[in-house]
Structure 1
């Protein structure tokens, strides 16, 4: 099983995203019409959010995949770890990269992935770098450099751990908690170091795909499909089984969209028709690209006879419910594939069901034996595998 989580910083206009009726035969609103051919392979959830934990407008968006604000995570055993990182820890050692984080933004976005030490995992924007990580062969000289670097990093971690243990005997309770977090980070680094070292001598897969020469200089509208292509190839070659993709700002030239205002400015539309009209151009694009991603996954047949989409749970959503009012309530959430018995549109009473319940169901489907995730209260009613 694979997991891909796609997040936009500004969410979607609610009445253009959420259907008015429920069940599998809902009438698709404007944005969801872009996904019409996949209607039987996804579920839209309404009424889910992170409650008080997600409040904060833009400052609450980073809780999208965790249900916990970073500032409130200090006393939690796994801090504000995100669902993708829980999945990566479960299966990561089987692939070259336990997880991959990508972004089409130019900076200033709300990072999607957080580890168990409460640290944000920066996503990679550079398409050339992503391609090299996945498919570019490592030369002998560079390989020796990498192996030497791994040995040095391991030695440094040994020294750091030794010093931290000496310090642990001399600090108070509050500082000891900080040290515990520090030890968690060290263990996480050691695990990653061991995993990556094991893959150094293994050849990378070969693919016929090639990036445009100017890939990283292209406008947002032209780059977004390339990140999805990287995700498909990474899954297809089993280079990783867990991916997050973040879409935030559009960069220069309004990203290549035929709009007259910035993305952020348009999200504060105040129900002004001209603003919503331009904003819907961007939002339709995002849904259409996600649909293209599902097209590619459903076209690939795996050795077990199922499609790559059957074996991949693909989540599209945001930690922002309504950017116009800076609301983090009623998050836009759409889950496709993954072998679930999809229900079209599942509606929940507002404020009664944590979005983290969805993440519990996802983790269980991913193969984990768990009945909780951060602020969850159980699995998500109505979603069955």
Structure 2
């Protein structure tokens, strides 16, 4: 790689037919003759992390702003990032009220869902953004999950397809969920990644070392941090696969990629993959369904052996509070990963919006939707705030108004979306 080569803002390393994109490097501007860019010119990303069956209302609150913000126990793990948060209380999904199944299928679309065998809802906002940005990245969006989708019908006669998916490519088809971290990792770097017997870094090492000698000191740090992230994620995936292999029956051949047995490891690996996708600009949109609606997830590491949904009916008790805390901790982990990734004058978190949301405030109650945002979308979203819309009136606290506002800030302006035709005031 020569210094006079015309390089884009993203540097590509290639080896043995494999292509790997590095993070944004300030030195590449000098090579390509591009003018310096401001932090707002950096890529904007959006990710949604979802927990099914609601939260623990007594412990889900915030007061104040900035470094003086106070957080309820359910949000305690977010304390290091107070100035990067917007804790939003009182948002309302009009078409998401009235019980299970229907509330999850429209959490990102606000569409009215159809009962019975015919699946009919709306396109989710992450997929609208993916279409808008599809020419900008290798992978338009990542749709990840930690719990297997289910079929059949809820007693309300809404399909369980709605309960299992938050990302929808069209009104009748959800985007398939990737459950395997290894395959999600492979999807970022092309089909060849799954066939490599060694680390992908081994195939681009010479170019990476050559590049390090040509860039600024700050870019060397970025390259080293990124390559370390890739290596650590690979190691964790291999460790997970080895663990599976040791416990698999000897007369069966284990698939090349599997779903981790430990939910903690599963969630962290998925967060790591999203972080890599955003850091390398391989994708700018991601959803992660940690637990679906009517979730059957169990938590033996929390000494809880009953399923998630059953526990949610006692959502003020210590067991369900521990479940909610665990989910928020995964959100905090992803925030922390992105906050450590330098990009321009800020971080990848500064140029992103990470949303944590559930379909219910508590069991069967969609009149409030718990929602937290982290990150400033390249300076277009003010952070460090507690925002309360509960008493603003239903017309002024629509969840879809929030989505219109976020899509605006990412360059996709729509006259209406879901049940909203106005932006969320005060955001």
| Residue 360 (structure 1) aligns with | 404
Q: Greater share of helix residues, 1 or 2? A: 1
Aligned to 1:111: 165
CA positional deviation for 1:136: 5.6
State the Cα distance separating 1:42 from its structure 2 match: 0.9
- Counterpart of 2:359? 319
Higher relative CO (CA 8 A, sep ≥ 6), structure 1 or 2? 1
Deviations 1:30-80 (A, max 9, x none): 0111100111111111111112x11232122221111113318xxxxx951
Task: State yes or no: 1:254 paired with 2:299.
Answer: yes
Query: Which among 35, 58, 67 is matched to residue 15 of structure 1?
Result: 58
User: More strand per residue: 1 or 2?
Assistant: 2
Partners in 2 of 1:111 and 1:240 — Cα distance? 20
5 Å-filtered alignment, 1:191-210, equals: 207-208=230-231, 209-210=233-234
Q: 1:125 aligns with which of 164, 167, 179?
A: 179
TM-score (norm: length of structure 2): 0.67
Alpha-carbon distance in structure 1 between the residues aligned to 2:174 and 2:372? 24
Unaligned runs of 5+ in 1: 73-77, 142-204
SS at match of 1:328: coil
Considering only aligned residues, what root-mean-square deviation do their CA atoms show, in Å?
2.6
Aligned length: 307
Q: Is 1:61 aligned with 2:101?
A: no
Higher deviation after alignment, 232-241 or 24-33:
24-33
Counterpart of 2:129 in structure 1 is 87
1:173 aligns to what? none
Instruction: Give the conservation status (yes or no) of the 8 Å contact 1:115–1:121.
Output: yes
The 8 Å contact of residues 22 and 347 in structure 1, kept in 2 or not, is answered as no
Q: Is the 8 A contact 2:55 2:361 kept in 1?
A: yes
2:60–2:72 Cα contact (<8 Å) kept: yes
For 1:1-385, list aligned pairs within 5 A. 1-19=44-62, 21=63, 23-24=65-66, 25-51=68-94, 53-59=95-101, 60-71=103-114, 80-108=122-150, 109-135=163-189, 138=192, 207-208=230-231, 209-210=233-234, 211=237, 212=239, 213=241, 214=244, 216-248=259-291, 254=299, 256-269=301-314, 271=316, 276-302=317-343, 304-323=344-363, 326-337=364-375, 338=377, 339=379, 340-348=381-389, 349=391, 351-352=394-395, 353-383=397-427
SS at match of 1:225: helix
- Structure 2, unpaired ranges of 5+: 1-43, 151-162, 196-225, 245-257
Classify the secondary structure of the residue corresponding to 2:170. coil
TM-score by length of 1: 0.73
Q: Deviations along 1:210-269, whole A, 9 cap, x unmatched?
A: 113246232212211111001101111222111010011676763533214221111011
Residue 351 (structure 1) shift = 2.5
Q: Tell me the SS of whatever aligns to 1:294.
A: helix
Displacement, 1:7?
A: 1.0
